Amino acid sequence: MNSLTEENYLKALFNLADDKGEVSVNDLSKSLEIKMPTVNSMMKKLAEKKLVYYESYKPLRLTEKGKREAGLIIRKHRLTEMFLVGKMNFGWEYVHDIAEQMEHIKSPEFFEKMDELLGYPKVDPHGSPIPDKNGKIALKEYNKLSECQVGETVIFAAVIHTSSEFLKFLSNRDMHLGIKIKIKSIESFDKSMTIIYGKARTEILSNIVSERLLVEKV
C-alpha cells in the first residue's frame, strides 16, 4: 500500500509525463512545490517499489505498475468530481479541491457505487477522460480551439489547467461542455478570436483562453 505522499508523487508524474512518458526531477519538484532533494530521494524509494524507472541524471518514467496505480488515483479523483457535480449539485469550479482529498480514500466499493450511480461516465465535468478499473486512460483526439481556422464549427469538449477562476469565467458566459462554437474571425496581431455560440451569442476570447479550450471537429 502506498502512502498519501507517494500517491501524490505518482499522480504528478502521470500528469506531467510528455509524449515519451518522461518527466524531469525539476518539473516534478515545481509541480509538487517540494524541493528537488526531497523529490530525488522519493524517486529512489518509488524505484525500489517498482513504480518508477530511475537512473541518475536521466528523466523519470513511471513503470507499468506505476502508471496503473496513478491511473487508479486519477480515476477516483475524476469519478468524485463527476459525482459532486452530477449528484450533489456542485458547480464545476468547486469540485477539484474536494476530489483532491477524496482520491486517497481506500474503498473500492465506494467508487464502484459512485460509478454505478453515475451510469459509468467516460469523462469528468471538465471533459477529462476517466481511467478504467485498470487505471487505463483513453486518449482523446482533441484540438486546441486556438489551433482552429476561421469559419470552422467545433464542439467544446474539455478544458485544460482548470483553475476555479477560469471555470467561473466560462460559466459566466454560458460556455458549457458540448456547445457548438463557430469561429468568426481571428485577429492576426494577438490571435484573439471572435466566436459565435448558443443563441447567436458573440464573444471575443484572448489567445490565453482559446489555448485552454479543447474542441472536437464536426
Partner DNA sequence: CTACAAAGTTAGATTACACTAATAAAATTT
Partner DNA sequence: AAATTTTATTAGTGTAATCTAACTTTGTAG
* Identity of the residue, 20 or 199, whose beta carbon is nearer to DNA in the bound complex: 20
Measured in degrees and rounded to the nearest 5, phi and psi for residue 164 equal: -70, -30
In angstroms, what is the minimal distance from the CB of 66 to DNA? 15
- Residue 6: contacted member of DNA, a copy of itself, none (CB under 5 to 8 Å, by partner type): DNA
Residue among 19, 35, 89, 151 that touches a copy of itself (CB under 8 A): 89
* Identity of the residue, 112 or 174, whose beta carbon is nearer to a copy of itself in the bound complex: 112
Q: How far apart are CA 187 and CA 148, in angstroms?
A: 13
CB 145 within 8 A of CB 181: yes
Q: How far apart are CA 95 and CA 126, in angstroms?
A: 10
The two most distant CA atoms of the chain are separated, in Å, by 58
Residues 36 to 75: which contact DNA by CB under 7 A? 36-38, 40-43, 45, 54-59
Q: Is 88 in the site for a copy of itself (CB under 8 A)?
A: yes
Choices 18-26, 109-117, 168-176, 187-195; region in contact with a copy of itself by CB under 8 A: 109-117
Amino acid letter, 96: H
Q: Is 97 in the site for a copy of itself (CB under 8 A)?
A: yes
- Residue 90: contacted member of a copy of itself, DNA, none (CB under 5 to 8 Å, by partner type): a copy of itself
Count residues near DNA (CB under 7 A): 26
Per-residue b/e over 108-146, b at no fewer than 16 CB within 10 Å? eeebeebbeeeeebebbbbbbbbbeeebebeeeebeebb
Short-list 213, 208, 150, CA closest to 182? 150
CB 82 within 8 A of CB 125: yes
Choices 32-40, 81-89, 146-154, 206-214; region in contact with DNA by CB under 7 A: 32-40
CB 39 within 8 A of CB 31: no
* Identity of the residue, 13 or 157, whose beta carbon is nearer to DNA in the bound complex: 13
* Identity of the residue, 49 or 113, whose beta carbon is nearer to DNA in the bound complex: 49
* Identity of the residue, 58 or 113, whose beta carbon is nearer to DNA in the bound complex: 58
Sign of the Cα pseudo-torsion (147, 152, 158, 163, in order): positive
Residues 113 to 172: which contact a copy of itself by CB under 8 A? 113-114, 117
Residues at the contact surface with a copy of itself, assessed by CB under 8 A? 84, 87-90, 94, 97-98, 101-102, 104-107, 109-110, 113-114, 117
